[in-house]
Amino acid sequence: MDEEFKRGSRLTQEASEWIAILTSGDATTDDAARLQAWRRLSPSHERAFIEAARLWKTMGPALTGKRRQNVGLSRRLFIGGSAIAASAIGAASLGSFLGITPSYSALAADFATARGEQKTVVLADGSTVEMDGSSMLSQNFTSHARAVTLSDGAAVFNVAADLDRPFLVTAETGITTTHAASFAVGHGADEVSVDCLQGQIEVECRGNIRLTSGQTVRYFASGLSAMEHDEPENMATWRRGLLVFRDKQLASVVMDINRHRRGNVVIAGSTLGLRRVSGVFHLSRPDEVIDQLQATLGLSVTRLPAGIVILR
């Protein structure tokens, strides 16, 4: 038993070291090849790596809080199990970079989609939800309210009319409410977008705003943005096989790419993700987005095995 415990501890240590290397911003093609060889040594090696990846995912909020105080990754802190300074690629990118196993949110959700998968689900009241890739949705219906939580990804809600029970969608720090409407909700890097496709909805986040067809708003932890207008057919364009970006943060663009592309695109640099992007791309050719970003923003692109791409 002692030998088995020691072996497990050694594998945990080695797996943590691999995660530290991968998230350092300096990973090379050789590093990726050696990691794959290490993971194939035994099922125990693979399990140790998966657990280390899960640990990184659960530590995301702590990393974000320390990002401004610490530049660069402290491998010793992670390997020792302590709080970690954010790496050069930014704590917000770690979950996407380590998209190896389902997150705890996905495991706990009532409905979830895989990367690149889109599907429509029917809720208990007859409402339908069109889910984009890498989306997680949970429902909690009672006699007084129809409450759902979109914990990640993007979705279009087509709400069945019920004047007695409001339909509430919680996403991050905001809540969208209606009794009968169609609207889209999407997670960005530090914001949530809400588009009204038909009917009327109310969005609450440190304030309230009412939207009707063709109106859109974003909200942040600090509150609501100004309302904007667009044609409903230009909203939630992923349903038509398109990625449409209008003056969008690069960090949010990368989130959208990673919902539809095998592998992981990672941003190296704490301020790079703030750069703005506009363009229209096809979901069937997501790598074209990377090529366009490289050309228009003058980015350096490092391509690693398993579809990992690092933007600098």
pLDDT-wise least confident of 67-76, 216-225, 290-299: 67-76
Q: What is the pLDDT of residue 304?
A: 82
Contacts by residues 166-175 (CB-CB < 8 Å, ≥ 24 positions apart): 167/125, 167/127, 172/219, 172/221, 173/205, 173/206, 173/219, 173/220, 173/221, 174/203, 174/204, 174/205, 174/219, 174/224, 175/203, 175/204, 175/205
pLDDT tens figures, 124-164: 999 999 999 999 999 989 999 999 999 899 999 999 999 99
Q: What is the pLDDT of residue 238?
A: 94
Residues of the chain with CATH 2.60.120.1440: 104-237
Locate 261 and state its tokens. Answer: 């592309």
Q: What is the pLDDT of residue 29?
A: 62
Q: What is the pLDDT of residue 132?
A: 96
Task: Report the relative pairing of strands 308-311 and 264-267 from DSSP bridges.
Answer: parallel
pLDDT tens figures, 228-278: 999 998 899 999 999 898 889 999 999 999 888 887 888 987 789 999 999
Task: Report the relative pairing of strands 208-212 and 215-220 from DSSP bridges.
Answer: unpaired
Can you say whether the dihedral through the CA atoms of 250, 133, 93, 151 is positive or negative? positive
Place of tokens 């990368």: 254
Q: What is the pLDDT of residue 149?
A: 92
Q: What is the pLDDT of residue 18?
A: 78
Report whether pLDDT(87) > 50: no
Pick among 3.40.50.880, 1.25.40.10, 3.40.640.10, 2.60.120.1440: CATH of 104-237 = 2.60.120.1440
Q: What is the pLDDT of residue 283?
A: 86
Q: What is the pLDDT of residue 39?
A: 79
Residues of the chain with CATH 3.55.50.30: 241-311
Phi-psi category of residue 94: left, alpha or beta, with phi > 0 → left and psi -120 to 50 → alpha: alpha
Q: What is the pLDDT of residue 54?
A: 61
Confidence of residue 116 (pLDDT cuts 50, 70, 90): confident
- d(Cα 107, Cα 131) in Å, to the nearest integer? 16
What number does CATH give the domain 241-311?
Answer: 3.55.50.30
pLDDT tens figures, 105-115: 555 678 988 88
